[in-house]
Structure 1
Amino acid sequence: MHDDKAKKPLAPLRGRSFSWPSAALKISLIYCFFSLLWIFLSDSLLEMMVSDIRILTFLQTVKGFGFVFLSTLLIFSLTYFYTKKMHSAQTHLRTLIDTIPDLVWLKDADGLYLGCNRKFERLYGARESEILGRSDYDFVDTELADFFRRHDRAAMYADKPSINEEQVKYANDGHTEILETIKTPMKDESGRLIGILGVGRDITLRKQRETDIKVLTQALEQSPVSVILTDPERRVSFVNRAFEDTSGYPAHQVVGRTMEFIDPQSNAPEIVEQIRDHLAAGKAWQGEIKSRRQNGELYWEYAYLSPVQTEEGEVSHLLVLKEDISLRKQQEQQLKHQAHFDALTELPNRVLIMDRLQQLIRDAERNQEYVVVMFLDLDDFKKVNDSMGHDVGDLALIEAARRLSGAVRGGDSVGRLGGDEFIVLAGHFSQKEDVQVVADNILERFRRPFDLGNREVLLTTSIGIAIYPSDGDTQSELLKNADTAMYQSKEQGRNRYAFYTDALNQSISRRLQIEGYLRGAIERGELMLHYQPQYDVSSQRVTGVEALLRWNSPELGQVGPDEFIPIAEQSGLILPIGRFVLQTALAAAKRWIELDPDFKLAVNISPAQFRDESLVSFLQEELAKHQYPASRLELEITEGILMRGGTQVEETLAALHEMGVCLSMDDFGTGYSSLSYLRKYPVDELKIDRSFVNEMTVDESDRELVNAAISLSRGLGLRVVAEGVETAEQLQALKELECGVVQGFWLSEPVPQEHIGKMLERQARLPV
C-alpha cells in the first residue's frame, strides 16, 4: 500500500504561506482595468483621428493585435512579479524552517511525508526529496513506525495540538535523542483534515537534568546529614528527612519560615559572631555547634554553612549541612576520661596526675609554698591477689582508693599509677610538719580491716614522701624520690611513712647498680655455687648439701645473696638465675651420687620460680639429662609460697611429689599457720629456722619450740633439718633432742664444688 503511494508523491505544500487568491484577484482587476481603458480610449481615439471606413477597419484590426500583444505582456509582467514575490517568500520561509534547531515535518492524512527541514533529514539520513511521499515504515522498524502512527492519529482525531515525548535514533551517527513533539492537525479552507504538522525539540539534556535533579533530591532526602536550603532572607525552602528526624521539627513547620541556624544561648558568643561575619562576607563556615531539638534537648552537630552564588556573584540561597555528632562527642568524652582516669578506681591516672603535679609546682613557685608528693604501695597486696583471686584484689583496690580519697584534704589529688601503687598530691603547705598530719590520717584509715566479699583482710600501706622544692623541682624527680622513700618505709617494717633523704637516694643507686651488673652475670661467668654440707647428727657423716649462690662482681666485688637475691626477685632476673642454679647443681651432684647413693641435693626455689608454669617440665628435662634420681633432689620452699595457695600451687606441688622430688619447708616456725600447710600439702621435710637454733641454748622457750618442731616432724613421719648451728653447745642440744640432720658454720661453711667431692671420697674410706 505504501509503496504504491510512494510512486505518486505529492508536491510539498511549501507555498501555503503565500496567498494565491489575493494575487489572482489583483492580476484580474489590473487586466480588467487595462482592457476597459484600452477599449474606450482606443476606439474614441480612432474615431477622432480616422474617418475613412476602410482605414478605420484596418486600424481596428491592428488595434486588436496590439491589444493581444500588450495584454499578453501585461499578464506576463504581473505573473512574473507575483511569482518572483512568491518564490522569495518561499525561500525566506524555507530558510527560516531549515534554520530552526528543531525537527519540522509535514505529513498527509495517510502518514506520507509532504515536507521536512534539514534537521529532520539528519534523523532519517536522507534528503528531503528522498523522504517526500514515503512513510515512517520506510525508515524505521515496524514497532517504532506503529508508535509514530498512533500518536499522529491521536493528534489528528484530537483536533488540537498534541504534545508527546518520543525517543529517536539518528541514522547518520546512531546517537539517540528524546524529543518533545508538538503535532498540529492541518486543514484546508473547507475544514477538511489534510495532514499533520510536526515539530520535535531535543529535550535530552533537559530530561537528563530533570533526572539529575530527581536523583539529587532523592540523595538529599536519603542523606544521613541534615540538609537545609534557604533564600537570602533565611526563609527555608527545603529540608530533608534527616533534618526532621534529628531536630524533631516536621518540614511543614519549617519551610517558608525564617530560621536561625545556631542557638546563641547554647554556643559561645565568639562562635556566633564568627558565623555571622562569614555569611555576611559571602564566605562558607564550618565547625562544631550546639543545637536544640524541638523537645528542648541540646545536642552537638558539625555544621557547614555556605552561600550559594549565581554566575553574577549574587547570593541566591544559603546551603546548610548538619551532622549529629552527639555520639562522637560522647565517645570523645569517654576516651578523654579513659585517657585521664583509671578504669577500675575512677581515680586520675598517671597522665592526669602528672599534669596536676606540674600545675602545683608552678603555683608553689609563684606563692613560695610546698608541694607534697606521697607515693603509696599496698603492703602484701600480691598475697591477697594470688590467694583470693583478681576479683577480690580489684575490690581491695577500689576500697583503698575510696579510703585514700576520704583521708586527704579537699583540694588534694589522689591518683592510681598502676597495680597497687597510688599517689597523693598535696599543695599549699606552709610548713613541712603539716604533711605528717595527712600521712597519719591515711595510715589511720588503713588500720580498719577491708571487707572483701564476706572476708575481712588487713591491708596496710607504705608511704614515701617527697617535698618540693627541697627533694626535687620537677615532676619526675619528685615522683622518683617519693618512690625511693616508699621502699625505705617497707624496709622499716611497712605500715608507715618515710621522708626522702639523700641517703635513701644512695641506697637506691646501689640497688640500681646491682640490678644493672646482675644482668649478664651468668654469661660473664660471675655467678658460682658453693655447697654447705648437711650432717647426720648421730654419725656426723655428710648426708647431703644445700646449694648456695655466690656472686663475685669485677665492678662491685663480693655481693652477698641477702643483697642481690631480693633484687633479682623484684627485677625478674631470678628465673634465669634459678635455672642456672639447678643446672649447675645437678651437674655437680651427678658425681656425688656415685660416691654415696643416699646423697641428697637441696636447692632453694624462689616464689617467682614456683609460679613459673614450666618449672615441672624443666626439672624433668634436667633430671633426665644428668641422670639424677628425683628422690635425691630436695626443693626448699618458703611458707609464703604455700600461703598463696590456689590451683597452680596445688598442681605444681602434686606434680613434683608424683615425680618423687622431695619438698622441704624452709624457715619453719617463722609463719603463723605452718601446721595447716603440713596437713594440706605433700611436704617431706621441715627445716628449723636458724633464729630458733641460735637462741636455744640461752632461751628455754626457743629450746622448747625446737623440741616441738622435732617431735611434730617425728609424729608426721617427716625428716627434720636444723640450720644455723654455730657452736658445739647448739650441736649437743640438737643431738639431745634427737634432731636428725644439721648444718651450720660450726660443722662446715659453704665450700666450692671440689671440696664436697673430697669430703665424700674421704668419708667413703671410713668405716660405717
Structure 2
Amino acid sequence: MSRQNPNFRDAVVESVTFLDSTAPPRWKGRVQLPGEHRPIDILIFNLQGEFQAVPALCPHEGCDLTHCPLFNENILVCPAHSRRIDLKISELRVKELDGQFLVSLNTTSLFETAENRTEITSGSEGLETVLQLREEIDKLRLATLKQEKQIRVITQSMDAMLCESEQQKLKLKEKVHQQQALSRFVDRVMDTIDDLLVVIDTEGRILRLNTAVERELGLTEAELLGTGIDELLTPLEQQHLAGQLPGLPWPIRSVLLETIRLNGYYAGEHELLGKNRDNAKSIYWLKSSLLHSEQGKLEGAVVTALNITELKNRETQLQLSAKVFENSSEAIFITDPQGTIMEVNAAFCSITGYERSEVLGRNPRILKSKLHDKPFYKRLWRSLLDEGGWKGEIWDRRKNGEFCPMLLSINAVADKLGQLTHYVAISTDISQQKQTERELKQLAYYDVLTSLPNRSLFKNRFEHEICLAERNNTRLALFFLDLDHFKNVNDTLGHWAGDCLLQITSTRIQSCLRKTDTVARMGGDEFTIILPGLTGITDATELARKLIDAMTKPVQIKDHTVFVGVSIGIAIFPDDGNDFYTLTKHADTAMYAAKAKGRGLFQYYEEGMNEAAHQRLLLENALRLAIEREEFQLYYQPKADSNLSRITGAEALIRWRRPGFGIIPPDRFIAIAEETALIIPLGKWILKTACLQAKVWVNQLPGFRLAINLSPLQLLADDFIVVLDRILAETDTKPEWIELEVTEGLIMLDIVKATERLHQIRERGIHVAMDDFGTGYSSLSYLQKLPIHTLKIDRSFIMAYTNDPASSEAAFIKTIVSFGQVLNMTVVAEGVETESQLALLQSYGCDEIQGYYLSPPLPADEFQRRWIDHGVVE
C-alpha cells in the first residue's frame, strides 16, 4: 500500500507479549485506534518472514482467538462458530522497526463491525433495536436447529457403532470359543503323540508341551513352563552347539533356538536331562523348525524328540558285530543251507586273494586245493549234518594258485524254529605259523641281521671242510675279520647305523668270495671266512687284499658318508692247528697283530703271536688303572713363525709314566685307548690339564695358543660340547687361547656330524686345526666348507723331502701351502728337522713350523724355562 493514501497510517503496538506455548508461536499486543477511547488487542504472526496481524477477538461474537491453532499455515478458525480468518488478506500490515512493531491502519474498513456494534448499542430508536433482536433470535434458532440436526446425526452414528460393536463382540466371542476348542483339540492331538513335543518362544522358553514330555522326563508341566529349552541339554551338548554358531550381533539366550534360526531347521541326536539327572540318560532324535505368524513374524519354534535309546543300543551292537566281522584277522564267510556264499569279510579277501564280488553267489569249492581225498570231505559234511559243526586243518588254494594251510571251523546256524538258515565258516591262515617254525629252525643257524651263517653253523661247516681237506690232502684257510673304527660309527651315529654298516659289509665280503667259500658273522663286527681247497697261500693272500680294497671304499649310510677299514688275521689248516677252536684262536690273534701294525692290513698267524696278544691284554688292564691313578703327563712341543722371530704356541702331547717301565709314548697305548673307549676319560684329563697350562703361559706370553688333539670318539660323542663348555668354565680359560686339532680321517668318519661339531667349536671362539693334512681321503669341496683355521702338513711329506726343490715332494708341499693360502688358512709344517726343510718352507711362504729343528716335546717346567721365560727363538 502507498503510504500517501489518506486512509492509512502507522500506529505503535504496545504491551507486546511473545507467546511461545502456542502453535505456532505469536505476539500479542494493543493498538490505540484514532477516535477510539480504548485500545484493541491484536495477534501478530511471522509468516515466511512477513508479519501479519489480526484482532485478538473474533469480529462476530468477540471470542478470544489468542490460543487458537493455525491451519494451513495461514487460517485461524474461531472455536465458537468456526469462522475462518485468513491472515494473508488481513487489512493489518505490520513491520518491525528498532525492536517495535508498527501497524499500518485502514481507518475506513478495518473496524466497520465495531462501529456497527456501537451504533446498535447507542441508537435511540427502539424499533431498530427490536428488529435487530429478532434477527439475532432467528439466527440463534437456525443455529439451534443446525445443532439438533448434528446431534441426531451423531446419535444415529453412535447407535450404528454400538450395534456393530455388539456384533463384533459376538463374533469375537464365537471365535474365542472356536480357538479354545481348537486348542483343546491340539492338546489332545499332542498328548496322543508318543514323541516329546515342545513349543518355545523367541527367547527359547518353553510355552507348551505334551504329556509325553512329563512321562519321559519325570518333570511336571508347571516345572517346565517358562524354563529354557537349553536346560534339558547336557552342558557338553550346549557347548558343542554354541561352538558351531557364528558370531551374532545379539545376545544368545538359547543355543538350540539360534541353531534352528540359523538353519531354518535342525535335526540331531541329543541326551535330554530328566528329573533325576544322575541316572543313565536317554538318547533322543530332536527335530525342530521355526514357528511364524500369518504375517511372517517369528514366534518361536516347535521341537519334537523321539526316544532312540534302544535303537542306538541295537545300532551299537550291530556296529560292534560288523566291526568284529570286518576287522577279524580270521577269514569269515557265510553261506546259505545249499553252500552258496552270501557274505565274506576283508580278511577272507586278503587271505584268499579273491575280491568280494568274485565269490558272492559261488560255492566254497573254488578254494579246493585237491590235496585232500574224497573221504576227507565226506567226513567234514557228515560232521556238519550230524553235529552241526566241524573243526580241523585244511589246505586251501588262493586265487593265484598258491597253497595255503588253514585252521577251519564251520558251524550251522538255525532260526527260532530250529530250521537251518546259514553256515558260518571261520578260517585262520596258519601259513605264518608254519613259516615261523621254519624260521626258528633257521635262527639256530643264521645271523638275524646279515642272514649269514652264525657261529654254530660256521663251526659245523668248518669241521666238515676239515674232514674234506684231510681226505683230499689239501689245505684250507680261516680268515678272521674285524672292522676298523666300527665302534666310532656305532657310538656316534647310533646302533641303527652300525647295523646298516654290518649289512653293507656282509654284502661286500660275499662279492669277493667264490661259491665254495663260506662267510659267517661271529658276533659284533667280527666275520669269519672258510677258504677251502688251497694248495698254497697265494689264493688266501689275493683274497685278503681284495677284501681290504673293498672295505676301504667310503660307505654311504643315509645322509652320512663314513670310512672304515678291515683288519684280517689268517690261520692255515693244518699248519696252524687241526681243530676249529685252535684255528679260530690263532686267526683272532693274527687279526690283533694286524691292528697293532696300523690297521687296514692282513697278517698270517706266526709263532709268538699268542704272547703278544697276552701282552696287549696286560697293557689294556694297566691302562685302565693308569687313568684312575693319573699316571699321565703332558709334554709340549713349540711352534714358531717360519722366520723364527717368535714363539706362536705349542702342541700338547700325552706321555704315560708307567711305574717300572718309564715313559711310554702315545703310539703304544692311544690305539688301545680308542678301541676300548678309554680315550673318553683320558681325553677329558688332557683337555682340562692343557687349559690350565694355557692360562699360565698366555698371561706371560700374549698371543700364545696351545693345540690339543681330539680323538674321533671324543669329538663325535653326544656330550662333547657340554664337556668342553664345562672345562672352559672350570679352568677359567678363554676360547682364543686354545686350538683343537682333528685329523682328516676323523672328519671323514662322519662328515655331517663332524662338520656340525667343528662349527660349534668355532662359534665359541676356539681355533680349529686339521692335523696330518694330505694323508686322508678328504675332498677339496668338503674342506672348503669346514670351519678350519689351520692346516698342518703331515710330517711324512716334510721328511720325504730330499733337498731337491724340483722334486715331486717339494711340489706337493708347495701345493698344500698354496691351498691353505687360497683358503686364507694358517699353514703349519710338522716334523721340520733340517735347515734345507726350513729354507724350502720359507720360500713357499709357509706360516709356522714345528719339529725337532726347534725342540723336541718338553715337560711343562722345561718348556717354561726354555721358551716362555725367553720368549724368543735362539
Q: TM class, shorter-chain normalised? A: 0.5 to 0.7
1:341-420 equivalences under 5 Å are 341-360=446-465, 370-377=475-482, 401=506, 404-405=509-510, 408=513, 412-418=517-523
What amino acid maps onto 1:652 in structure 2?
R
What amino acid maps onto 2:689 in structure 1?
T
How far off is 1:753 after superposition? 1.1
Tell me how far apart the structure 2 counterparts of residues 534 and 408 of structure 1 sit (CA, whole Å). 50
**1:712 is the counterpart of 2:819:** yes
Instruction: Give the number of equivalent residue pairs.
Output: 474
SS of the equivalent of 2:858 reads coil
Q: Which has the higher contact order (CA 8 A, sep 6+)?
A: 1
- Cross-structure match for 2:666: 561
The question of whether the paired residues in 2 share the 8 Å contact of 1:527 and 1:550 is answered with: yes
**1:512 is the counterpart of 2:595:** no
- Cross-structure match for 2:726: 621
What amino acid maps onto 1:709 in structure 2?
I
Tell me how far apart the structure 2 counterparts of residues 623 and 668 of structure 1 sit (CA, whole Å). 27
Tell me how far apart the structure 1 counterparts of residues 832 and 778 of structure 2 sit (CA, whole Å). 25
Task: Choose the corresponding residue for 2:653, options 542, 548, 570.
Answer: 548
- Cross-structure match for 1:735: 842
Q: Kindly provide the CA deviation profile for residues 59-78 of structure 1, in whole angstroms up to 9, marking residues without a partner as x.
A: xxxxxxxxxxxxxxxxxxxx
The question of whether the paired residues in 2 share the 8 Å contact of 1:379 and 1:462 is answered with: yes
**1:661 is the counterpart of 2:762:** no
- Cross-structure match for 2:689: 584
The question of whether the paired residues in 2 share the 8 Å contact of 1:595 and 1:760 is answered with: no
TM-aligned CA distance change 1:749 to 1:406, over 3 Å: closer
Tell me how far apart the structure 2 counterparts of residues 411 and 590 of structure 1 sit (CA, whole Å). 64
The question of whether the paired residues in 2 share the 8 Å contact of 1:642 and 1:677 is answered with: no
What amino acid maps onto 2:680 in structure 1?
L
The question of whether the paired residues in 1 share the 8 Å contact of 2:490 and 2:497 is answered with: yes
What amino acid maps onto 2:827 in structure 1?
V
- Cross-structure match for 1:679: 784
TM-aligned CA distance change 1:649 to 1:540, over 3 Å: same
The question of whether the paired residues in 1 share the 8 Å contact of 2:489 and 2:498 is answered with: yes
How far off is 1:636 after superposition? 0.7
SS of the equivalent of 1:648 reads helix
Task: Choose the corresponding residue for 1:721, options 828, 835, 838.
Answer: 828
- Cross-structure match for 1:610: 715
Identity %: 39
How far off is 1:595 after superposition? 0.8
The question of whether the paired residues in 2 share the 8 Å contact of 1:249 and 1:294 is answered with: no
What amino acid maps onto 1:606 in structure 2?
S
How far off is 1:729 after superposition? 3.2
**1:526 is the counterpart of 2:605:** no
SS of the equivalent of 1:687 reads strand
How far off is 1:492 after superposition? 7.1
Tell me how far apart the structure 2 counterparts of residues 581 and 515 of structure 1 sit (CA, whole Å). 19
- Cross-structure match for 2:339: none
The question of whether the paired residues in 1 share the 8 Å contact of 2:632 and 2:656 is answered with: yes
How far off is 1:601 after superposition? 0.7
**1:599 is the counterpart of 2:704:** yes
How far off is 1:547 after superposition? 0.3
Q: Kindly provide the CA deviation profile for residues 132-190 of structure 1, in whole angstroms up to 9, marking residues without a partner as x.
A: xxxxxxxxxxxxxxxxxxxxxxxxxxxxxxxxxxxxxxxxxxxxxxxxxxxxxxxxxxx
How far off is 1:401 after superposition? 4.1
TM-aligned CA distance change 1:423 to 1:629, over 3 Å: same
SS of the equivalent of 2:629 reads coil
Tell me how far apart the structure 1 counterparts of residues 504 and 838 of structure 2 sit (CA, whole Å). 51
How far off is 1:748 after superposition? 1.2
- Cross-structure match for 2:797: 692
How far off is 1:524 after superposition? 2.2
Q: Can you give the 5+ residue segments of structure 1 that lack an aligned partner in the other structure?
A: 1-223, 225-243, 258-289, 302-322
How far off is 1:751 after superposition? 0.9
How far off is 1:723 after superposition? 1.4
Tell me how far apart the structure 1 counterparts of residues 859 and 869 of structure 2 sit (CA, whole Å). 16
1:171-570 equivalences under 5 Å are 249=377, 253-255=381-383, 293=395, 328-360=433-465, 370-377=475-482, 401=506, 404-405=509-510, 408=513, 412-418=517-523, 421-426=526-531, 429=533, 431-433=535-537, 436=540, 439=543, 446=550, 463-488=568-593, 497-554=602-659, 556-570=661-675
Tell me how far apart the structure 1 counterparts of residues 552 and 647 of structure 2 sit (CA, whole Å). 51
How far off is 1:755 after superposition? 1.9
Tell me how far apart the structure 1 counterparts of residues 712 and 695 of structure 2 sit (CA, whole Å). 26
TM-aligned CA distance change 1:392 to 1:552, over 3 Å: closer
Tell me how far apart the structure 1 counterparts of residues 827 and 480 of structure 2 sit (CA, whole Å). 43
TM-aligned CA distance change 1:338 to 1:704, over 3 Å: same
How far off is 1:480 after superposition? 2.8
1:54-133 equivalences under 5 Å are none
**1:637 is the counterpart of 2:729:** no
The question of whether the paired residues in 2 share the 8 Å contact of 1:528 and 1:551 is answered with: yes
Judge which range, 375-384 or 688-697, deviates more: 375-384
SS of the equivalent of 1:423 reads strand
Tell me how far apart the structure 1 counterparts of residues 438 and 698 of structure 2 sit (CA, whole Å). 69
The question of whether the paired residues in 2 share the 8 Å contact of 1:666 and 1:686 is answered with: yes
SS of the equivalent of 2:870 reads helix
The question of whether the paired residues in 2 share the 8 Å contact of 1:387 and 1:644 is answered with: no
**1:753 is the counterpart of 2:869:** no
Q: Kindly provide the CA deviation profile for residues 262-312 of structure 1, in whole angstroms up to 9, marking residues without a partner as x.
A: xxxxxxxxxxxxxxxxxxxxxxxxxxxx976588979699xxxxxxxxxxx
Judge which range, 607-616 or 329-338, deviates more: 329-338
TM-aligned CA distance change 1:742 to 1:443, over 3 Å: closer
The question of whether the paired residues in 2 share the 8 Å contact of 1:596 and 1:760 is answered with: no
How far off is 1:672 after superposition? 5.0
- Cross-structure match for 1:186: none
Q: Can you give the 5+ residue segments of structure 2 that lack an aligned partner in the other structure?
A: 1-329, 331-364, 386-391, 408-427
How far off is 1:717 after superposition? 2.5
SS of the equivalent of 1:522 reads helix
The question of whether the paired residues in 1 share the 8 Å contact of 2:481 and 2:527 is answered with: yes
Q: Kindly provide the CA deviation profile for residues 44-86 of structure 1, in whole angstroms up to 9, marking residues without a partner as x.
A: xxxxxxxxxxxxxxxxxxxxxxxxxxxxxxxxxxxxxxxxxxx
TM-score, scaled to structure 2:
0.47
Q: Kindly provide the CA deviation profile for residues 425-467 of structure 1, in whole angstroms up to 9, marking residues without a partner as x.
A: 245x585558648847965995998998999999986543213
SS of the equivalent of 1:613 reads coil
SS of the equivalent of 2:787 reads coil
How far off is 1:535 after superposition? 1.8
What amino acid maps onto 2:646 in structure 1?
R
Tell me how far apart the structure 1 counterparts of residues 829 and 456 of structure 2 sit (CA, whole Å). 52
Q: Kindly provide the CA deviation profile for residues 646-673 of structure 1, in whole angstroms up to 9, marking residues without a partner as x.
A: 4322221111111001000111233454
- Cross-structure match for 2:870: 763
TM-aligned CA distance change 1:590 to 1:460, over 3 Å: closer
The question of whether the paired residues in 2 share the 8 Å contact of 1:535 and 1:743 is answered with: yes
The question of whether the paired residues in 2 share the 8 Å contact of 1:340 and 1:351 is answered with: yes
TM-aligned CA distance change 1:744 to 1:458, over 3 Å: closer
How far off is 1:639 after superposition? 0.9
How far off is 1:743 after superposition? 1.7
The question of whether the paired residues in 1 share the 8 Å contact of 2:453 and 2:521 is answered with: yes
TM-score, scaled to structure 1:
0.52
TM-aligned CA distance change 1:542 to 1:673, over 3 Å: same
The question of whether the paired residues in 1 share the 8 Å contact of 2:644 and 2:873 is answered with: no
Tell me how far apart the structure 2 counterparts of residues 444 and 610 of structure 1 sit (CA, whole Å). 27
TM-aligned CA distance change 1:675 to 1:426, over 3 Å: closer
What amino acid maps onto 2:635 in structure 1?
H
TM-aligned CA distance change 1:507 to 1:586, over 3 Å: same
- Cross-structure match for 2:680: 575
